[in-house]
Structures are given as C-alpha cells and as structure tokens.
C-alpha cells in the first residue's frame, strides 16, 4: 500500500488573518508575510473566498501544527485526508 503524499491539508482563513507573523516565525518554510501585512501559505492555492489551502505530507504535520498553535486568532487549520480536523 502506498502512502498518500498529501496526508493533510493546511487551511488558512486569510481574510481574518491579523498579520502577527507568528506562523512565519515558527514555520518559515511554509509561511510568509505578504505586502498587505497578512500571512500566506508558500505555494498554497488561493480560493475564491480569499482562503488558502495546501496539501502537506506527514513529515510536515508537526511544524504546521506548531504554526497553527501560535496563531492568536485561530485562522490556521489542519485537516486529515479523510476530512477529520486536527486543529
């Protein structure tokens, strides 16, 4: 059985981001600040509603959980491939 490459999806409610940059400080390989002073997922897909998402592998789960935990407004969520929300 092969491992699902994107075992999880990061979901970012970008419109509600306050731009504190905690996620970028914790996980700079995945998060960056943009010119509008809000964070974005590096290489993420922007949805029509302004939210972002990106699939990640199991090995990238913990650093992104740490980034989500650092967010003071809880706009970062991680969902398993089966739809179960982790954070």
pLDDT digits (tens, 9 = 90+) for 41-54: 999 999 999 999 99
Question: How close are the terminal C-alpha atoms of the chain, in Å?
Answer: 27
| Stretch (H or E) spanning 32 | strand 31-33
Encoded tokens for 53: 């998402």
Per-residue pLDDT, 68: 98
Q: Model confidence at 87, in pLDDT bands (50, 70, 90)?
A: very high
Contact 47, 38 (CB under 8 A): no
The pTM score is 0.91
Encoded tokens for 83: 């739809």
Q: How many residues does the chain have?
A: 87
- Which among 1, 63, 60 has a CA at the least distance from the CA of 26? 63
> Could you give the domains of the chain?
8-80 (3.30.70.20)
């Amino acid at each position: 059985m092969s491992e699902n490459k994107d075992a999880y999806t990061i979901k970012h409610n970008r419109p509600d981001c306050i731009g504190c940059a905690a996620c970028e400080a914790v996980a700079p390989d995945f998060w960056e600040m943009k010119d509008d002073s809000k964070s974005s997922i590096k290489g993420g897909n922007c949805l029509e509603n302004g939210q972002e998402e990106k699939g990640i592998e199991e090995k990238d789960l913990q650093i992104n959980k740490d980034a989500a935990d650092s967010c003071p407004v809880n706009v970062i969520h991680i969902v398993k491939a089966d739809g179960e929300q982790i954070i």
